[in-house]
Amino acid sequence: MAKKKVEEKINLDSILFKCRDILRQARNSGSFFEKRDMMLTLVFLRFIGEKFEDGIQKLRQELIAQGLDPDDEEIFAAFFDDATFTDGTYNLPVEARWSTIINTPAPQLNVALDTALHSLATSSKQLKGCFVEGTFTTRNLAPNDIKKIVDEVNKISHKAFGEEKDLIGRVYEYFLKEFAVNATKEEGEFYTPHDAVQLIAAMIEPFDGTLYDPCCGSGGMFIQSADLIREKQGDISRINIYGQEKEPATYRLAKMNLALRGLSHHLGEEADSTFTHDLHKGIYFDYIMANPPFNLKGWYDPNLKNDARWSDYVTPPESNANYAWILHMLSHLRATKGVAGFLLANGALGDGDTLEIRKKLIQNDKVEAIIILPREMFITTDISVTLWILNQNKKGGNYHGRTLRNRENEILFMDLRTWIENPVKGEGKKKVFLNDTQIKRASDIYHTWQTEGTDGVHYEVPELYRSVGIEEIEKHGWSLVPSKYIEFIDHDLDIDYGTEISRIQAEMRNVLAQEKQSQKLLEDAFRGIGYGID
């Protein structure tokens, strides 16, 4: 009987691995960034093309359900020639459809791909700026190489990988790891893990109003927030997205990501520095979510010395942008209800050169919670990371169906560094993730602390969290390091050393007795077969 052929499971990483190797060996494939841009552009064309095909199929089914024939010339002309979709699907010109690209002969693929990009850029304002026109003809990969890559990308489908959130971000993350992790560190370009984004979103609940990210990267914060809004509220139109990104390639990636999902967004007309050219100056937001480049150097410009964003504090140190990010975000928070959740390196919790800013932030009651995350959550950095939450309203009131108590002059400290029981498989270095249960537990600790009826004075669990008053923080020199406030138990103090020594001695006596008994049995056995034991 013939053996049944085992069907090979399609794996996203294996597809990307093949593409990486093809690009590494191909002539004219360019730098890491050019390789990455080619791959992201191809994946974008694949996804947007598949979404269009799904939209057309859905439209056909709707027409049939209404008793109309979608193949009738007049019906086809009325509904398909200039199809409109309500879910963010783009009506693609024929030359920009994936079905056209995948069926193009290899020698013509580079030209066909750039023709598709030009067609998209000229037909849609939202898609303009998502990619660099001329990407493929500039590199001009050999027909065999570009064909092999396109065929691999053709295997990447939302139908096959629907469980993957933020697929373009997943592809981006892969190339950060596999091509040039060190280069991205130097550029300050860090990919935010999905679970870190989910934790921030679960904490601050950006369900309606305006959401801003001053260093939006690939747009992952927006994507995951949109997923959470759909899950909790169902109406993504209730949130208005604003963002800014300095790196042109990453700016294009964010536009790809948001356009692919049909999310209306305001990222400005260009990539530029948030510090020297704030594209959203004078706008105040309900929510801010961010993962700024850690310990960013070279951010300062002499024109920023008396900038309005830190006029109520002091100018942040030129050597490090951590507190410049904090004050920038605070300046954009809506005055009476804005909430911000963002990640920073742990050094910002007690830096000496930022003491005066930190002191005033605490005195002005802007800091609501400090949560240290497991070090192993981040792929592209070994720096220990903290989630900060700023809140413009700690006085209480109604918030997303909960009645909040007055939390003035209190800060919640949480330490999640021991939550490392969920390893990520297949990584080159140790990496862990927070699962849904852990994210819910952490957000429940925070939300319970906020809610009416909770005693903030005695709200604590040793080695996990504690609510602390401003007087105690002042005694610790305005430090925000959680270990100064959360009780850590010395488990060795629980040991009765007299009893423990007696137990060890008893075990040793038992081992010696067993060895003596084994020796006697061995001697008896040898004597039984006629051998003497000296």
Maximum separation of any 2 CA atoms in the chain, in Å: 109
Under 8 Å between Cβ of 288 and 332: yes
Right CATH number for 12-164 from 1.20.190.20, 1.20.120.1810, 1.10.540.10, 1.20.1260.30? 1.20.1260.30
For residue 431, what are the contacts with CB-CB under 8 A and spacing of at least 6?
A: 376, 377, 379, 423, 424
User: How do strand 410-415 and strand 465-469 relate by DSSP bridges?
Assistant: antiparallel
Instruction: Assign a CATH topology to domain 182-484.
Output: Rossmann fold (3.40.50)
Q: Residue ranges per domain, the chain? A: 12-164, 182-484, 497-534
Alpha-carbon dihedral 381, 386, 390, 396, rounded to 10 degrees: 140
Position of tokens 């269009």?
52
Position of tokens 């010696």?
512
**How far, in Å, CA of 334 to CA of 72, rounded?**
54
- The DSSP element (H or E) to which 369 belongs, if any, is strand 367-372
HEC string of 477-509?
Answer: CCCCCHHHCCCCCCHHHHCCHHHHHHHHHHHHH
**How far, in Å, CA of 246 to CA of 271, rounded?**
5
Q: Is 347 helix (H, G, I), strand (E, B) or coil?
A: helix
For residue 57, what are the contacts with CB-CB under 8 A and spacing of at least 6?
A: none
- The DSSP element (H or E) to which 140 belongs, if any, is none
The per-residue pLDDT for 262 is 74
User: How do strand 239-243 and strand 265-266 relate by DSSP bridges?
Assistant: parallel
**How far, in Å, CA of 151 to CA of 138, rounded?**
20
The per-residue pLDDT for 398 is 92
The 10 Å Cβ neighbour count of residue 163 is: 6
The 10 Å Cβ neighbour count of residue 345 is: 19
Tens digit of each residue's pLDDT, the chain (534 residues): 444 433 344 577 788 888 888 988 888 777 777 887 888 889 889 988 888 888 888 888 888 888 888 787 777 777 776 666 656 677 788 999 999 999 999 999 999 999 999 998 888 877 888 888 888 999 889 999 999 999 999 988 776 665 445 566 677 667 655 543 333 333 334 567 888 988 999 999 998 899 999 999 878 788 877 877 777 765 677 788 999 999 887 888 888 888 877 788 899 888 999 999 999 999 999 999 999 988 889 899 999 998 999 999 999 999 999 999 999 999 999 998 999 999 999 999 999 999 999 999 999 999 999 999 998 887 666 677 999 999 999 999 999 889 999 999 999 999 999 999 988 876 656 788 999 999 999 999 999 999 999 999 999 999 999 999 999 999 999 999 999 999 887 544 455 556 655 655 665 666 566 666 656 665 665 555 454 444
The per-residue pLDDT for 123 is 83
Position of tokens 């809140």?
391
For the residues of 172-201, what is the DSSP string, one character each?
A: HHHHHHHTTHHHHHHHT--PPPHHHHHHHH
pTM, two decimals, is: 0.77
Under 8 Å between Cβ of 159 and 131: no
Under 8 Å between Cβ of 410 and 467: yes
Q: Is 391 helix (H, G, I), strand (E, B) or coil?
A: strand
User: How do strand 287-290 and strand 339-345 relate by DSSP bridges?
Assistant: parallel
Q: Number of H helices and number of E strands within the chain?
A: 17, 12
Distance of CA 517 to the CA centre of its chain: 62
For residue 527, what are the contacts with CB-CB under 8 A and spacing of at least 6?
A: 533
CA-nearest of 335, 5, 273, 32 to 172 is 32
The per-residue pLDDT for 107 is 95
